[in-house]
Structure 1
Amino acid sequence: MTSSSAWWRSAVIYQIYPRSFMDSTGDGIGDLPGILQQLDYVASLGVDAVWISPFFKSPMKDFGYDISDYRDVDPIFGTLDDFKDILHAAHDRGLKVLIDQVWNHTSDQHPWFEESRLSRDNPKADWYVWVDAKPDGTPPNNWLSTFGGSAWTWEPRRQQYYLHNFLDSQPDLNWYNPDVLDAILDTARFWLEMGVDGFRLDVVNFFTYDRSLQDNPMRPADKPRPAGASPTDPFFSQVNLYNFCQAETLKLLKPIRQLMDEYDATTLAEISSAEDALSTSSDYVRGRDRLHTAYNSSLMTDEPLTAQRVKHLIHQVDTLFDDGVICWTAGTHDFPRLKSRWSKYQPTEEFLRDAFDSMFAALIISLKGNCCIYQGDELGLTQADIPHEKMQDPFGIQGYPQVLGRDGSRTPMPWRQAAYQAGFTKAAEPWLPIPEEHLPYAVDVQEADPSSLLHRYRRLIHWRRLQPALQGGDLHLLKLDAEPLVGFIRACDEQQLLCLFNLSADTVYQDMTRFPQCEPTAQNVFSDRSFHHTLELPPYGVYFANLC
């Protein structure tokens, strides 16, 4: 079994995007008191922790990922006392609380940058990445911002360019300056002293860059883009060798880990835009001097989720994460909804799509490591089609129409089907429209239906808590009879749990004589038929059994 101090190794984490979770004030924007109102819903899922996306003071150019004050709450979300109320209420319900920390960059309205940009010789002159222009006045190299255009913006007062891997209003901090690291650690300590249980660290692999400032090579036509990258995104027209994913970043993780260990807190790292996301993620969690767990985009592509692909991923993780922990994540606020991502490869029959959703939920909670569920995925929400005039995401607005952005996965939670604005807000118009097609998936509708996806997620997560092998067991991938089947055994001293998944729309059969006496479990979640030592798994069927 996993010890209580290592809860993160097998945790189920629920991501809350505050703007879209629950609005308590009627301004159309979700807030901290809204989260508090719905905390019982989160606890009812049986998850171990919540990850709350940024709620700090910000001009909201990138909806909170452009922070102007690391230590205070933006008024649109509430107050610092509101957050403390959430923290206490979550702990009373047995929930850990992780909060976003955006340490790669700040807002250009942060006092640190406002001082840094004034001159080349002020106390914070070297807190950001400043570089002289080329002799002809152009940027120092060809690096691109992930949001489009050059990664460099000219500052007339300093007569230099500053680096911004995202919006030009999000200047990158200079992690090569030890004063910056000290300031970041001091900020972290502020929240740890308050009682948070850990941090989700935004774009960790962007912290450092190649100081020789070499141009990135252009991407050859035959070189695939990283997992999750849009085929039309200009950022990936280059092979991003020098602007991030530098070895120096790994050396900076030790003092972060030391601080977290001091408070028995954990880190969940986002690995973003890496050429090899799984390998890079494993680097960041290897050993006890780096971070605790990391997620990446390996499950966030729209390629079909075949048995072959799943087995390949499991094998890669087993090879790469020898002592580190992966966070299996298939949906966040940055990627299209998982319900829609694979729908074009699935049958049109609704009952088969429902079966796929249940199968995937069972799979992700059964794999070795921890997992993260993005709000609304437990309801089966689809990717919303947001009209251009309603778009809010700067990434989507700047890249339109080649890149549609992230608004489609950020629409408000539908709490009650028949309520005004689906029970999310009393405002005439929420910050993003609530899609009509989401209303039949509202929480109240699914609460009333014992067979709903919400109830299946809930039963699965609660059942998972009772399985010692899923809390801390090893994973042994199996070779099975039928090609669409994925199977593995999760094993620890107390339990050997057989896990079988049919990743096809066809019924498949598995000879069970190779396994010791099986005692089926989780019948309240899944059903199957077995006869004459043969197991019949229906389309997208799942089978769990204890091995004697």
Structure 2
Amino acid sequence: MSVTERDAELVYAITHRGTVPEPPEWWRGAVFYEVYTHSFNDSSGNGYGDIRGITEKLPYIRDLGVDGLWLTPFYPSPQQDNGYDVSDFRGVHPPFGKVEHVQELIDAAHDLDLKIMFDFIAGHTSDEHPWFKESAASRDNDKAHWYVWADPAPDGGPPNNWISSFGGRAWRWVPQRAQYCYRPFLASQPALNLRNQQVMAEVLDNMRFWLDMGLDGFRLDAIQCLSHDSELRSNPPARATENPSVGGGPNNPFKQQIHLFDRDVPEAIPILHQLRRVANEYDPPRVLIGELADVDSSRLAPKYTVDNDRLHAVYDFDLINRADTLRDWTSMLHLRSRYLMPGSSLNVFTNHDSPRSVSNLMPKACAAGRAPDAAKLLLFLQTTLMGGAILFQGEELGLQQPHIPFEELQDPWAKALWPDFEGRDGVRCPLPWTREALNCGFSDSETPWLKVPHDHRDSAIDVQEQDPDSVLQFTRKLMRWRRTMPMLRTASERIFEDVPSKVIAFEREKAGDSLICAVNFALKPTELTLPRSSLQTQFSRGEIALDQDSLTLGPLAVIALC
């Protein structure tokens, strides 16, 4: 595809967002709960969360009021990247259970009227996958072209300058073939050649294996890496602030390039078409939600969701990584309102790859001892902005980001970039169920894979169950109210510009109905003028004073009016 054709495709994508059907699909604007399989609930006592442990706690997830859940990888894996290095797409890693336990989980979720999605990694495998072992053995075996191989450059080095997300060259030398293998992440995660239709057929059949069990869909990992430039051209250098990325500290060399040829390439779109066709084989069609990172996600997301033959929705890191101030955040929300189709994106304030939202986004409130109030504000904002949402486990408790000492780290990314980057273990710590129990009730093991931070004990679920003002009880109240406001799933959005600097305010509108939402990030009262008078409060938290068209929000207060 020429540059002109590529530009034309992008223009088409951002100017033809499509229309929301009536009634909207179940997934559009839905709220999902992300279960980090390793750390949710250990039913076997081996120190790892497991499938049966999730099944045991489904009533807890249902009672939050979410629409469904998403599980992080549980497939067989050497666990070099906590399961994102898969060695068998049709099995279960032994510490997590068995395939029959997965069927029990799917059935139990549906019995509780919960939708359920699994993580699926289409773009790469573990180097311990049988496919890679065969492909790496020679240049003339049956799977010789199943991965991305390239000859050395004339000087013997890698074929281009591509950098791994984890730092270092994105190429691994394999002596058996005297070639380099492309690996966009860890050296143990070689990239599949999805343009090879034999490979693609196997990947699609692996999806069908789980969909045939009744699974409602997949969260697709790292869709920006499904393909790459066929000519293997080197990336140009980046200028400061030009390149949004997943993270990894300011000194990660990944940020020193514009990832023009190894991320978000046109060759990925035909791959999405094939993935979508599999989802459409089922009745009702299964759902594909793609993780979009390392790129300008808010502008590019429509390209991945346009025309009903790609993804249903995207899930990105823009609201986590691409703003340093509240004004930056407001600007980002303006951008998203302009480009994104209602319900085709999911608001994410944290996940298993980023710090806890209350610590990351509202450190001053945490320092002032107002972390629970800040957590409530973020939960309200996340679930009232245009689109759906994914709540990472523990966000409903308002957990703060703990410090993990180097000797306890499990995350390979943190080990590679320490101390510049503390890694992802802090957000991945086990969920605290019971304050006084061993490992806060997560596991009976004396040596869990990660410890429950001591600071999380007072935020345990059993403690918050007894406190009507807890973040957990607020989450349940908020989600019950959201279910009474179906317009929040698909209404358009207008971000207000003329508001105080510490306020985010916006209007959701659909078919003549309007809902105005406002949140005060300040630690002192803030007054703003509403666009019209005689509005009635529909939901609020904190100190509120409403007088005709004048509204005073107390510290960290939130309100919805219509």
Higher mean displacement: 194-203 or 235-244 = 235-244
Q: CA deviation at 1:329?
A: 0.4
Indicate if the aligned counterparts of 2:542 and 2:555 stay in contact, CA closer than 8 A: no
2:50 paired with 1:31: yes
Indicate if the aligned counterparts of 2:343 and 2:490 stay in contact, CA closer than 8 A: no
Give the alignment partner of residue 436 of structure 2, picking from 402, 411, 418.
Answer: 418
Q: Deviations over 1:209-233 (max 9, x none)?
A: 112222223333x344415533121
Indicate if the aligned counterparts of 1:12 and 1:47 stay in contact, CA closer than 8 A: yes
Distance (Å, rounded) in 2 between the aligned partners of 1:2 and 1:42 = 28
Q: CA deviation at 1:50?
A: 0.3
Q: CA deviation at 1:115?
A: 1.4
Give the alignment partner of residue 352 of structure 2, picking from 321, 329, 333.
Answer: 333
Q: CA deviation at 1:535?
A: 2.1
- Report the CA distance shift for 1:342/1:168 in structure 2 as closer, same or farther (over 3 A): same
Indicate if the aligned counterparts of 1:287 and 1:324 stay in contact, CA closer than 8 A: no
Indicate if the aligned counterparts of 1:507 and 1:537 stay in contact, CA closer than 8 A: yes
Equivalent residue letter for 1:21: F
Equivalent residue letter for 1:30: G
2:539 paired with 1:519: no
Q: In the alignment, what sits opposite 1:268?
A: 289
Q: In the alignment, what sits opposite 1:168?
A: 187
Q: In the alignment, what sits opposite 1:428?
A: 446
Q: In the alignment, what sits opposite 2:506?
A: 488
Q: In the alignment, what sits opposite 1:364?
A: 382
Distance (Å, rounded) in 1 between the aligned partners of 2:415 and 2:445 = 24
Higher mean displacement: 526-535 or 40-49 = 526-535
Extract unaligned runs of 5+ from structure 1: none
- Report the CA distance shift for 1:64/1:348 in structure 2 as closer, same or farther (over 3 A): closer
Equivalent residue letter for 1:285: T
Indicate if the aligned counterparts of 2:75 and 2:90 stay in contact, CA closer than 8 A: yes
Share of identical aligned residues, percent?
37
Indicate if the aligned counterparts of 1:145 and 1:151 stay in contact, CA closer than 8 A: yes
Q: In the alignment, what sits opposite 1:545?
A: 561
- Report the CA distance shift for 1:228/1:398 in structure 2 as closer, same or farther (over 3 A): closer
Give matches, 1:113-124, under 5 Å: 113-124=132-143
- Report the CA distance shift for 1:344/1:484 in structure 2 as closer, same or farther (over 3 A): closer
What is the aligned length?
Answer: 540
Give the alignment partner of residue 387 of structure 1, picking from 395, 400, 405.
Answer: 405
Distance (Å, rounded) in 2 between the aligned partners of 1:185 and 1:146 = 26
Q: In the alignment, what sits opposite 1:72?
A: 91
Equivalent residue letter for 1:520: T
Report the secondary structure of 2:27's partner residue: helix
- Report the CA distance shift for 1:481/1:403 in structure 2 as closer, same or farther (over 3 A): closer
Indicate if the aligned counterparts of 1:302 and 1:341 stay in contact, CA closer than 8 A: no
Report the secondary structure of 2:527's partner residue: strand
Q: CA deviation at 1:251?
A: 2.6
Give the alignment partner of residue 278 of structure 1, picking from 294, 298, 313.
Answer: 298
Q: Deviations over 1:452-507 (max 9, x none)?
A: 01111111111101112213222233344534332222223384222122232221
Equivalent residue letter for 2:373: A
Report the secondary structure of 1:509's partner residue: strand
TM-score of the aligned structures, taking structure 1 as reference length = 0.94
Indicate if the aligned counterparts of 2:263 and 2:294 stay in contact, CA closer than 8 A: no
Q: CA deviation at 1:283?
A: 1.9
Q: CA deviation at 1:320?
A: 1.5
Q: In the alignment, what sits opposite 1:535?
A: 551
Indicate if the aligned counterparts of 2:78 and 2:126 stay in contact, CA closer than 8 A: yes
Give matches, 1:204-243, under 5 Å: 204-220=223-239, 222-226=240-244, 228-229=246-247, 230-243=249-262
Q: Deviations over 1:62-120 (max 9, x none)?
A: 11111111011111100011111110111111110010000110111111111111221
Q: CA deviation at 1:194?
A: 0.9
Distance (Å, rounded) in 1 between the aligned partners of 2:167 and 2:495 = 41
Q: In the alignment, what sits opposite 2:312?
A: 292
Give matches, 1:74-93, under 5 Å: 74-93=93-112
Q: In the alignment, what sits opposite 1:444?
A: 462
Q: RMSD over aligned Cα, in angstroms?
A: 2.0
Distance (Å, rounded) in 2 between the aligned partners of 1:348 and 1:223 = 28
Distance (Å, rounded) in 2 between the aligned partners of 1:297 and 1:392 = 23
Indicate if the aligned counterparts of 2:342 and 2:491 stay in contact, CA closer than 8 A: no
Give matches, 1:87-166, under 5 Å: 87-166=106-185
- Report the CA distance shift for 1:485/1:386 in structure 2 as closer, same or farther (over 3 A): closer
Equivalent residue letter for 1:539: P
- Report the CA distance shift for 1:324/1:179 in structure 2 as closer, same or farther (over 3 A): farther
Q: In the alignment, what sits opposite 2:482?
A: 464
Q: Deviations over 1:268-302 (max 9, x none)?
A: 1111222x222232321122121011111112138
Q: In the alignment, what sits opposite 1:188?
A: 207
Distance (Å, rounded) in 1 between the aligned partners of 2:405 and 2:322 = 22
Distance (Å, rounded) in 2 between the aligned partners of 1:354 and 1:410 = 20
Distance (Å, rounded) in 2 between the aligned partners of 1:75 and 1:89 = 21
Q: Deviations over 1:368-422 (max 9, x none)?
A: 1111100011111121211111111111112222222211111111111111111
Q: In the alignment, what sits opposite 1:203?
A: 222
Indicate if the aligned counterparts of 1:227 and 1:277 stay in contact, CA closer than 8 A: no
2:23 paired with 1:7: no
Indicate if the aligned counterparts of 2:532 and 2:549 stay in contact, CA closer than 8 A: no
Distance (Å, rounded) in 1 between the aligned partners of 2:159 and 2:547 = 70
Q: In the alignment, what sits opposite 1:403?
A: 421
Indicate if the aligned counterparts of 1:206 and 1:243 stay in contact, CA closer than 8 A: yes
Indicate if the aligned counterparts of 1:268 and 1:291 stay in contact, CA closer than 8 A: yes
